[in-house]
Structure 1
Amino acid sequence: MSDAPHGGACRCGLISAEMRAQPMLRLYCHCRDCRKQTGAPMMAFVVFNDSDVTWFGTPKTFRSGGVERSFCEHCGSQIGYRDDQLPGEIYLALGFMDEPERYPPSFHAFDKRRLPFIHLADELPRHDGFSTQR
């Protein structure tokens, strides 16, 4: 992965960010919360240290169950989330990233909850639950 700065923006460009370091993780998530939040059968994330992110604009947020999710109030784009149990990390939606092709997921989280019609022919590790210790 290139050391060039990493960037992301919502669909309308009102909210954007630049990341000064390499992502910590890249993953697919098959949990119910991500499906409900996005309306998609799964979600893909790129994880950065919160301190490595510079924001341009302020995303709107809402909190539920120890998780704070962010979005653009103008275009509705999902931006990402923070988990109270993973302080200092931000999970940015792959679709928020300017060059999503730079961030292929490296594993699946909550694979046990993957919808039965989703078939991804990859050899990536699959976790039954959370991908990191909480």
Structure 2
Amino acid sequence: MAEAQETWTETPAATGGCQCGAVRYRLAAGPTRASVCHCRMCQRQVGGPYAAFLKLAAGQITWLGEPAWFASSDIAERGFCPACGTPLAFRDIGSEWLEITAGSLPAGFPFAPTVQFGIESRHAWIDHLAALPGEETTERPVSHQAAEQP
């Protein structure tokens, strides 16, 4: 199997963060790469079938509130909100790159994965999701502490 090629895109500045608002961040405009990872560690981090990430240079992010970090292996760590537990980031220990969880990005952020990793753990049913019937939901009002705070 061919090695995944990284496709980088220029993305705009944005703010994002956790569900409770205790940890926020600002992303500077610049090159990013969107991906999904199906590996078991990423599945466990986000509690879902895959994790979606936006990779960027660590210097492109300014944290407003400090995430907690968990060493998920001897080579990588994962950032999360210590108050509400929202998964926020992944990074190789000592790397100048950081990957932000797509779910913590603002609604409407131009996120379009160009590569997937950990395909050995990919669930077969994912291929069939687009063919399933669907319905829209109405979001409930959120408290003043919710994620869309600047």
TM-score (ref. length: structure 2): 0.72
Aligned length: 121
Aligned to 2:68: 60
1:46 aligned to 2:22?
A: no
Unaligned runs of at least 5 residues, structure 1:
123-134
Q: CA deviation at 1:64?
A: 3.0
Compare 100-109 and 39-48 and name the one that shifted more: 100-109
Partner of 1:103: 111
Output the CA distance in 1 between the equivalents of 2:124 and 2:88. 27
RMSD: 2.2
CA contact (8 A) 2:11 2:110 kept: no
One-letter code aligned to 1:42: Y
Q: Counterpart in 2 of 1:18?
A: 26
**In structure 1, distance between residues paired with 2:108 and 2:89:** 14
**Structure 2 spans left out of the alignment, 5+ residues:** 1-8, 131-150
1:27-46 equivalences in 2 (<5 Å) = 27-46=35-54
Larger Rg: 2
Is 1:72 the counterpart of 2:78? The answer is: no
Q: Percent identity?
A: 28
| Matched ranges for 1:109-120 at <5 A | 109-119=117-127
- Pick closer, same or farther for the CA change 1:89–1:46 going to 2, 3 Å: same
Name the structure, 1 or 2, with higher relative contact order (CA <8 Å, separation 6+).
2
The ranges of structure 1 where at least 4 consecutive aligned residues each deviate by more than 6 angstroms after the TM superposition are: none
User: Which secondary structure does the structure 1 equivalent of 2:55 belong to?
Assistant: strand
Q: Which amino acid aligns with 1:71?
A: F
Q: Distance in 1 between matches of 2:32 and 2:96?
A: 11
Report the TM-score when normalising by structure 1: 0.80
